[in-house]
Amino acid sequence: MKTIMTVDDSASVRQMVAFTLKNAGYSVIEASDGKDALSKIGAKVDMVITDLNMPNMDGISLIKALRAMPACKFIPIIMLTTESQAGRKQEGKDAGATGWIVKPFKPEQLLSVVQKVLR
């Protein structure tokens, strides 16, 4: 079973993401911000879905930190952007994000993106 980590400071988004992914047969690890994510990344995570705006450590820094780890160098990392501003998205892509989902999104959209990058 593939393991996906969802990183978001909004508990409701986390819950929705986790619920959707678990129903689709993925195992899910939840983290509330970049720091929390790095402390939980541990064993085997096949994919990360992260928000960008978070306290302690934001999404961009998290992506950079993950890409610096050998185990996470090539895994898909999807960022959640509310901002439709191209700037943040580009920043995320430069940091090494695989793709993005623009909030608000529906569970089906989430799943289709996951299936696009994780096989």
Partner 1 sequence: MEDIHRQAFRDEAADLLAELETALLELEDAPQDSGLVNRIFRAMHTLKGSGAMFGFDDIAQFTHEIETVFDKVRDGLLPVTKPLLDLTFQAKDHVRLLFENDGGDISGYLASGTAILEGFRALAGGGGDHAEAPGAQAGAVPAQEADRERMFRIRFKPRPGIYSTGNNPEYFLEDIKSLGPARVFAHFEDVPPLRELDPQSCHIWWDILLATSSTESAVRDVFMFVEDECDLSVTPMEATCDDKVPMLGEILVERGDISADQIERAVAGQRRLGSILAESGVVAAKSVEAALAEQSIARDRQDSRKSAPEAASSLRVSADKLDRLQDLVGELVIVQAQIKQAAALLGNEAVVNLAEELERLSDDIRDSTLSIRMLPIGSTFSTYRRLVRDLCASLGKEIDLVTTGEDTELDKTVLDRLADALIHLLRNSIDHGIELPAEREAAGKPRKGTIRLQAEHSGGDVVIEVIDDGKGIDPARVRAKALERGLITEHTELSPQKTLELIFLPGFSTAEAVSNVSGRGVGMDVVKGVVESLRGSIALSSELGRGSRVTVRLPLTLAIIEGLQVRVGDQGYVLPLELVEECVELDKQDLEVCTRKRIVNLRGQVVPYISLREWFSFPGPVPSIEQVVILGMNGQRVGLVVDNVVGEHQTVIKSLGPVFRKLDGFSGATIQGDGSMSLILDVKRIVDMALEQAGRESER
Omega prior to 55 cis, within 30 of 0: no
Q: Which residue, 10 or 61, is less far from partner 1 as judged by CB?
A: 10
Task: Yes or no: say if 81 and 104 are a contact pair by the CB < 8 Å rule.
Answer: no
Query: What's the rounded Cα separation, in Å, for the pair 110 and 108?
Result: 5
Residues 33-62 within binding reach of partner 1 (CB under 8 A): 53-55
By CB under 8 A, name the one of 29, 49, 60, 97 that touches partner 1.
Answer: 97
3 makes contact with partner 1 (CB under 8 A): no
Instruction: Collect all residues with Cβ–Cβ distance below 8 Å to 113 and sequence separation of at least 6.
Output: 78, 99, 101
Query: What's the rounded Cα separation, in Å, for the pair 74 and 69?
Result: 10
By CB under 8 A, name the one of 62, 77, 88, 114 that touches partner 1.
Answer: 77
Residues within the interface to partner 1 (CB under 8 A): 1, 9-13, 15-16, 19, 22-23, 25, 53-55, 67, 73-77, 80, 82, 84, 93, 96-100, 102-105, 116-117, 119
